[in-house]
Amino acid sequence: MAEIAEKLSIRCWLCGKPVEIKFSAKEKPYLVCDTRSGGCGMQTFLREPKAIQLLQNRVKGDMQCE
């Protein structure tokens, strides 16, 4: 998990706003699209290793694009 422990963001799959990646007490990542910064309130919780790996791949891809 160290690779994505930094403050990273990804685009909301629903509204397209940047979404900060947070971590639960069990160090599982989750996404919250913050309504205070214009987001839609979407929440996604990633618990499976496959989902976490896909998230890591997605974060790398976003950084290459921008």
Q: Does 40 bind Zn ion (CB under 5 A)?
A: yes
Q: How far is the CB of 17 from Zn ion (least distance, A)?
A: 5
Handedness of CA 1, 25, 50, 22 (dihedral sign): negative
Q: Does 52 bind Zn ion (CB under 5 A)?
A: no
Q: Exactly one of 8, 10, 33, 55 binds Zn ion (CB under 5 A); which one? A: 33
User: CB-based contacts of 47: which residues, under 8 Å, 6+ apart?
Assistant: 28
Give the integer Cα–Cα distance in Å for 44 and 65: 23
Q: Exactly one of 32, 42, 46, 51 binds Zn ion (CB under 5 A); which one? A: 42
| Contacting residues toward Zn ion, per CB under 5 A | 12, 14-15, 17, 33, 39-40, 42
